[in-house]
Chains A and B, each alone.
Chain A
Amino acid sequence: MKRPVLIQILLALIILTCTAGCDSTRLLREAQEAFNQGAEIENRARLGISGDPASLSTLPPPKGDPTTYYEIALARLEQADDASLKRDGLWVHKRTLLALTHWKLGNHEQARETARQTNADAHRHPREASILKAIPALVQIDNAIEMTQRDEAAPLNAIEDELVGTPYGAISILEEAREIAPGHAIQVYLIQSRLSAYLALARARERYGTASRFNDSEITEVRDSLTLLQELLNRFGATTADAEQITTLWGRALGVSH
């Protein structure tokens, strides 16, 4: 028996409306997945980690160039519909991921702009709000490294401004990001980003052949950051041994005991 025409039209409308919404959610999920895979490759390479984390997993660990994964993430995010994501409360998540993806792809200006133009409610979205706040710092750390590695390095004071300048240096910005979500697991990431900034500073001063890479107050800050990192790792689920090992890797690279 045929359905009445009105019911058929209503059904078609519901399906059409919902499909647009769900497609955007699915695109966001695909972007999250792709970004995570790229980040996993990077993080393993960063600490010189090799090996298979999911020995029985049907999905092998991601391999290859993380940029490819970030490009996939960007493509998915650009396809996702802002209006439907806003309606579903996922727009902030999209914007955060977009800023992160732009940063990793080297689109530094777009990363900063995306972060600047996105207001995230720190209470509802503590992770996203912290990341958005930290994006300029992350960009500046990468920028400082690039400035150091140029054939003709940028002036040391310009690099130092990017990293330890007040109030716009990466370390100050990361402190603000940390204040947004105290007690949140994002702290582990932010502290490691802060240590990355100090490492970038050390590399720059090495390039300029300064007598010592850190002054006394910087040494104290690095030492405190290492201690804090170990505490945070323990608090957010690392075993004591893992927390010590991660902290030792950082401390050794920075040349500071704690």
Chain B
Amino acid sequence: MTSENHQLDSAPVIGILAEFDGPEALKTAAAGLRATGYTRYEAFSPYPVHGIDAVLDRKRTILPKLVLLGGFGGCLVALLLQWWTNAVDYPYWISGKPLFSLPANIPVTFELIILFGALAAFGGGLVLSNLPEFYHPLSGCASFRQGTTDAFFLAVEVADPQFDEVGTTDLLRFLGAKAAEVYHRPQTRRDIPGALKAGAVLLLALALAPPLWIATYRYAPKSLPRIHPILDMDFQPKYLPQQYSPLFADTRDMRPPVAGVVAVDAPLGDLHLLAGEIDGKPAKTFPMPVTSEIMKRGQQRYGIYCATCHGLAGDGDGITSQLAFQREEPKWVRPLSLHSASVVEQPVGQLFKTVSDGVRAMPSYRVQIPVEDRWAILLYVRALQRSQNATITDVPEGLRKHLGAGTN
């Protein structure tokens, strides 16, 4: 008996602790206690004493059944998870494989059976042993602490109907106990230091601050863009068109083609016909002889491609334009009248470029209209321009008399 226990002699008795020599002595004594009719006692040993369960008449634990349940649970969860996610909620085809097929689901199902079974074994093992249990009345006994090293104990609780301080001690000694001591309820308990508790509470409170701050920041309205902590590939170290680059003398990141380079779609051949150019300048003449067939062809093509916007007479009042104004399309710009001085004065080669490449809102017609037709259309446009800006001298003399005098 230790001095620690002497001081506590006045405290209420809660049991008797008896130490035995080894596993066999422990079993014999436990059998003796049971034969005498004791019911509230427990054996303690540094390693499992096989056979003591039978002596103590303990029922087999339900742990194996819990593990079986865990395994079934894991199986069910795994199958439902794989079926619902891949076949129902988010079905997608991969190499024509079925959305739900057992062979592909075996590995994950197997792993979850094991995982849930193992969690049941571990958690069930602890809970069924009433663990964690950080306080035990016997932990106050200094000798009891030897129990996890090499000592074998029987502890009889005061709650046992047969309990008697003297009688039970004698019985235990009779059953072979090396030592038997009455133990009392400890009056002082070694508590966790107050500073440690306060520190833990403070740490917990502080730990809440960052997630709270993040949550507030995420959901509160903000006038500035939110912090972008992970950039992914939003900002890449690369050159985009029209940027500054210190690598070149002209500080442009876009490089002009090397001398002699020919663009993929560059006109090759008669530049007058294909590009409307003569010696690099816009041509003032047509590349083909002007005939009435070409003029008629031009009129017809003009009606198809141009009149919808420019109008049948080239005034910029085509049906598309009229409709756009009727609908008050905010972005619509009335096409320039083909009779305005700025258009009339352009060389025909320049007009050819406009038809081929487009200008301002007008798209390119290079693809839709073959090159000969473009020239034919321009021929018709020239005729239209002449008709709208004609003077009396343009009219053959024999026909002038049909027109009212003084008309242009």
A and B from one complex: no
**Which residues of B approach A to under 8 Å, CB–CB?**
none
